[in-house]
């Protein structure tokens, strides 16, 4: 009887120890899960041309900063600016040119002390990879009949603005203006050329690198257009100013810049 009683006590003790260990383990798991959940949520409003590279940079940042969740909103620089002017929720603005940034700065819609230049790019003339038209320079375009040349809408698409500047600088804009079709953003220009809906298009070098369906036939000289600069700043209405500044500092780090360079960008000159 004594042996049976002892066994019962031992079984009860073993059961209690198992329950305590399990409960303790559950507590630890729950705590760890809570710690990994983001406590800061930020939104970046960025130029469409950054939609390939920026997610890679954000992923690298979030891996080292799991407390911060970052969502990205892409579109033409002008449309992103207009959304911020209309009160859209955004913490960081990254246009593909200084014009839209300057407009927001003049309206005090970005924090002036956070405005800085981040990236640089190049403007190129592309044609479908299978194209046989004799296009080797921008100056070749006026000699061709019945062609469509895709360019971003210059009023809202910085790549379009730089493209028109280049065409005017080399003296062919007036001659080819009837052949130009305007797109809502630089990615649409690329798509039109890829699909053959345009015979040529003006895009960023970084866009041209995204597909083998187009080929670069000419690169605009730096002095034919305004410097292609991608600035960055914290939006004045942001509720996460410190976190936004921390992320901008990361964007300028060697780690982030290596990612940008893989996509064809270079560091901008201040």
- The DSSP result for the chain, as a single string, is -HHHHHHHHHHHHHHHHHHHHHHHHHHHHHHHHHHHS-SEEEEEEEEGGGTTTHHHHHHHHHHH-TTEEEEEEEE-HHHHHHHHHTT---SEEE-SSHHHHHHHHHTT-B-GGG-EEEEE--EEEEEETT--S--SSGGGGGG-SS--EEEE-TTT-HHHHHHHHHHHHTT-HHHHGGGEEEESSHHHHHHHHHTTSSSEEEEEHHHHTT-SSEEEEEE--GGGS---EEEEEEBTT-S-HHHHHHHHHHHTSHHHHHHHHHTT-EEPP-
Instruction: Give pLDDT tens digits for 202-222.
Output: 999 999 999 999 999 999 999
Same domain, 186 and 253: no
CATH code, domain with 220: 3.40.190.10
Please state, for a pLDDT cut of 90, what percent of the chain lies above it. 83
pLDDT score recorded for residue 36: 62
Q: Tokens representing 15?
A: 């059961």
Same domain, 214 and 138: yes
Same domain, 60 and 99: yes
In total, how many domains does the chain have?
Answer: 3
Same domain, 52 and 19: no
Please state, for a pLDDT cut of 70, what percent of the chain lies above it. 86
Closest CA to 80 of 199, 267, 235: 235
Same domain, 112 and 245: yes
Same domain, 144 and 96: no
- Domain with 152, as residue range(s), is 123-224
Going by pLDDT thresholds of 50, 70 and 90, the confidence category of residue 5 is low
Same domain, 100 and 171: no
Same domain, 48 and 112: yes
| Residue 175: φ, ψ to 5° | -70, -35
Q: What is the mean pLDDT of residues 251-267?
A: 96
Same domain, 94 and 18: no
Same domain, 167 and 210: yes
Same domain, 51 and 128: no
Same domain, 149 and 206: yes
Q: Tokens representing 151?
A: 């360019």
Examine the pLDDT at 15 and tell me if it is beyond 90. Answer: no
Instruction: Give pLDDT tens digits for 54-107.
Output: 999 999 999 999 999 999 999 999 999 999 999 999 999 999 999 999 999 999
Q: Are 200 and 216 in contact (CB under 8 A)?
A: no
């Amino acid at each position: 009887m004594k042996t049976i009683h002892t066994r019962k006590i031992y079984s009860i003790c073993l059961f209690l120890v198992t329950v305590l260990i399990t409960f303790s383990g559950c507590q630890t798991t729950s705590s760890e899960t809570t710690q990994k959940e983001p406590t800061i949520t930020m939104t970046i409003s960025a130029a469409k041309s950054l939609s390939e590279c920026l997610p890679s940079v954000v992923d690298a940042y979030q891996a080292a900063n799991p407390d911060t969740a970052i969502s990205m909103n892409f579109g033409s620089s002008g449309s992103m600016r207009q959304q911020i002017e209309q009160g859209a929720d955004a913490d960081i603005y990254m246009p593909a040119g200084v014009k839209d940034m300057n407009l927001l700065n003049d309206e005090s819609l970005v924090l002036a002390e956070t405005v800085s230049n981040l990236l640089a790019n190049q403007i190129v003339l592309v044609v479908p990879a299978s194209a046989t038209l004799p296009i080797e320079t921008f100056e070749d375009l006026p000699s061709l009949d019945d062609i469509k040349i895709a360019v971003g809408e210059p009023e809202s698409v910085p790549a379009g603005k730089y493209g028109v500047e280049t065409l005017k600088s080399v003296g062919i804009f007036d001659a080819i203006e009837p052949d130009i079709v305007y797109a809502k953003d630089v990615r649409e220009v690329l798509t039109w050329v890829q699909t053959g809906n345009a015979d040529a298009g003006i895009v960023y070098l970084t866009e041209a690198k995204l597909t083998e369906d187009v080929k670069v036939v000419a690169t605009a000289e730096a002095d034919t257009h305004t410097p292609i600069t991608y600035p960055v700043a914290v939006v004045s209405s942001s509720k996460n100013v410190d976190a936004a500044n921390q992320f901008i500092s990361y964007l300028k780090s060697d780690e982030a810049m290596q990612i940008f360079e893989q996509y064809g960008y270079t560091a901008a000159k201040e």
